[in-house]
Amino acid sequence: MKDTASKSYDYVIIGSGFGGSVSALRLSEKGYKVLVIEKGKWWKPDDFPKTNWNIRKWLWIPSLRFFGFFKMTFLRHVGILSGVGVGGGSLVYANTLPRPKEAFFKTGSWAGLADWQKELEPFYAEAEKMLGATTNPKLFDADNALKQVARQMGHEKEFVPTDVAVFFGEPEKTIPDPFFGGRGPERSGCTHCGACMTGCRHNAKNTLDKNYLWLAIKNGVEVMAEHLVTAVKPLGAADGSEGYTITYKKVSGFFTQNKTVKAKGVILAGGVLGTVRLLLDMKLKGLLDLSGKTGDDIRTNNESLILVHSKQKDKNFSEGVAIGSIFPPDKDSHVEPVRYGSGSGFFKLMGVPMIFGKNGFIRTIKLFGRFIAHPVSSFRIYFSKNFAEESVILLFMQHLDSTLKFKKGWFNLGSRVSTGKAPSSFIPRAKELANRTSEVTDGKPFVMATEVFFGIPTTAHILGGAVIGSSSKTGVIDSRHQVFGYKKLLVCDGSAISANPGVNPSLTITAMTERAMSLIPNKKN
């Protein structure tokens, strides 16, 4: 697109994920002139890599000139998996759209500010409609294995197929838009190939560029990809009532120059890693009145990711949608079987046998002992030619609470424990589920090497850092998502999630943003 320096917008939206895309559409429908700035690339079905071995197309590491759509970030207390690109996390997420349990709406910094479950109900319904949520129609080997585990634990009745953002239709048959009365793009039926998280090459996954963002662009919203916002500063009045200057630069260029654009309002929607980092920078130079809670109340969804590598040659655990089923092993937890498409074996390089222990030294000794005592089962994963077909990844989540605080580090973000215990890789219930799944599939459990050596858990759902509170002493934003102390500056992404949902949060981010946008009045002529 043309240089924006001479342009002015009603709203600039930073990020194009679930918060950014929803904001773009709803603001455009209210008559506002909107620009979306996204640091990642545009992706079409044919652009996605066939497997995650094509790391240059898959991974986002700009310093190495890797401009993919999947990002891994490792901090002191947590490893974070996230998405980058036009459509944000929807490009890499597992399509799964569960609603949280009741406890989510009554805990955390937002507790008591509204009857959140009742307040958000119509917006959950709208989000499900817009994202094309439908019940997964078919279970495959990984789902059936988890169903056996649920039966063993007395929870078979609670085992259910997931609601997912996928167009099933007739496999690979292209039809006119089935969701928006012909206003959306053509779609093709799901093939159940399991490759949802390496980018859907079959035009079946309901990514944001096929619904919210597609419709927003038709309404005149501009999208500027491959640009990173580095500063947001008030124009004139310190509270932003006269608007903001947004500074950005091209990500993919060798010699980039800072450029600016002006807007009356700004929506921060770059995900926790983008929004919180930007706010921490601006708290020192530009948005000096930001709450002292900025960067606080970071949550990991209390997740554990455990890989079970099976010896069952008659099974193919790569078939299905990325997450096709779910069940609660207890009142505080959920577990789902995750899959990658056939041929995607990158994560086997990062896996080691699952080891529990009090500290890294003890775990390392145990690990080497495991390699020596059981070399065949321990090393077999690394020589697997059909890793995705032979593997079930268990995604275990809890809504039990503990929080981190993000702060500015030397090169990136830093982290420290805020309240409760530090997030742990070693959750007894997760271990039990891994062992039960291993028995059912004749497999062995593996985890990320960072968990064993450093005790750092891995999450695909980092949340918080700019949470809702009653005042700037308890949160960064109010119940309308407005940043305390500033006009028309909103946070609408995972940073605003103010309690542990204990399930995949994409639907909740979408619903919360729908509500926030409903509170903004139509533009006056």
Phi, psi for residue 346 in degrees, rounded to 5: -55, -40
Q: Give the confidence band of 443 by pLDDT, cuts at 50, 70, 90.
A: very high
Question: pLDDT by residue (tens digit) across 257-293?
Answer: 899 999 999 999 999 999 999 999 999 999 999 999 9
153 and 234 both lie in a single domain: no
Segment 89-112 mean pLDDT: 95
Q: Give the confidence band of 155 by pLDDT, cuts at 50, 70, 90.
A: very high
Q: Give the confidence band of 3 by pLDDT, cuts at 50, 70, 90.
A: low
Distance separating alpha carbons of residues 116 and 512, to the nearest angstrom: 10
CB 390 within 8 A of CB 297: no
Question: pLDDT by residue (tens digit) across 281-324?
Answer: 999 999 999 999 999 999 988 888 999 999 999 999 999 999 99
Res 417: pLDDT: 82
Beta bridge partners, 259, equal 248
Residue 410 lies in a domain: no
Q: Where are the alpha helices (DSSP H) in 200-268?
A: 212-218
Residue 367 lies in a domain: yes
Segment 332-340 mean pLDDT: 95
Amino acid at 196: C
229 and 352 both lie in a single domain: no
Beta bridge partners, 73, equal 80
pLDDT of 412 higher than 90: no
Distance separating alpha carbons of residues 21 and 513, to the nearest angstrom: 9
Res 4: pLDDT: 57
C-alpha angle 280/281/284, rounded to 5°?
Answer: 95
Res 244: pLDDT: 97
426 and 389 both lie in a single domain: yes
C-alpha angle 303/306/312, rounded to 5°?
Answer: 150
150 and 200 both lie in a single domain: yes
323 and 441 both lie in a single domain: yes
244 and 358 both lie in a single domain: no
Res 525: pLDDT: 75
Distance separating alpha carbons of residues 422 and 405, to the nearest angstrom: 11
Q: Which residue has the higher pLDDT, 207 or 418?
A: 207
Distance separating alpha carbons of residues 511 and 75, to the nearest angstrom: 29
Edge to edge, the sheet with strand 333-338 lists 333-338, 391-398, 304-310, 443-448, 351-353
List the beta strands (DSSP E) in 219-311.
Answer: 222-224, 227-234, 244-250, 259-268, 304-310
264 and 320 both lie in a single domain: no
Instruction: Please report, for the domain that includes residue 11, its CATH number.
Output: 3.50.50.60
Question: pLDDT by residue (tens digit) across 159-171?
Answer: 999 999 999 999 9
The one-character DSSP state at 380 is: G
The one-character DSSP state at 72 is: E
Distance separating alpha carbons of residues 336 and 344, to the nearest angstrom: 19
Q: Which residue has the higher pLDDT, 400 or 331?
A: 331
Q: Give the confidence band of 345 by pLDDT, cuts at 50, 70, 90.
A: very high
Res 333: pLDDT: 92
- Continuous segment of H or E residues that includes residue 146: helix 141-152
Give the range of the structural domain holding residue 474, as residue numbers without chain letter. 1-43+85-132+221-295+463-525
* Percent residues over pLDDT 70 in the chain: 98
Catalytic residue numbers read 461
Looking at 175-189, 266-280, 414-428, which range is the least confident one?
414-428
242 and 321 both lie in a single domain: no
Distance separating alpha carbons of residues 498 and 471, to the nearest angstrom: 14
pLDDT of 13 higher than 80: yes
pLDDT of 5 higher than 90: no
473 and 449 both lie in a single domain: no
Average pLDDT, the chain: 94
Instruction: Dig out the tokens for 403 from the structure.
Output: 């929080």
Q: Which of 270, 308, 280, 338 is nearest to 491 (CA)?
A: 270
Q: Give the confidence band of 7 by pLDDT, cuts at 50, 70, 90.
A: confident
Res 139: pLDDT: 97
Question: pLDDT by residue (tens digit) across 461-514?
Answer: 999 999 999 999 999 999 999 999 999 999 999 999 999 998 999 999 999 999
Kindly report the pTM of this predicted structure.
0.95
Instruction: Dig out the tokens for 84 from the structure.
Output: 């980058």
Q: Quote the number of domains for the chain.
A: 2
